[in-house]
Amino acid sequence: MTVDFNGVGRGQVNTQKTVTDKPQTSQPQQPAAEQAQAPKTQGENVSLSAQAKDLKQIEQQLASYPEVDDARVEEIKAALADGSYKVDAEKLAQKMLDMDNSIFG
């Protein structure tokens, strides 16, 4: 099956047009009566794999969760304000190293 995207065909992607290129001529339109009588074609069928269906379901579940845990944010703000929030420097450093290893190997 060949798909024509605005006159771009095989071998024409990312090419420069020159002044010698001929402009495309449009095809004549069919009268409305002929269009109405033209046989209707069915669209193509698409079936999704079980994995794709599972991914779609997971995506919908994730969309239902809030992006930010407001209760946790307020808890941390309160701990910062009253000075009770403590940072474990060794744990923080290890997580930074783990992230670096996961990104750069």
Instruction: Pinpoint the alpha helices (H) of the chain.
Output: 32-37, 50-64, 70-82, 89-104
Mean pLDDT of the chain: 77
Is pLDDT above 70 for 31? Answer: no
pLDDT tens per residue across span 34-80: 555 656 667 788 888 889 899 999 999 988 888 888 999 999 999 99
Query: Contact 79/85 with Cβ under 8 angstroms?
Result: yes
Share of the chain above pLDDT 90, in %: 41
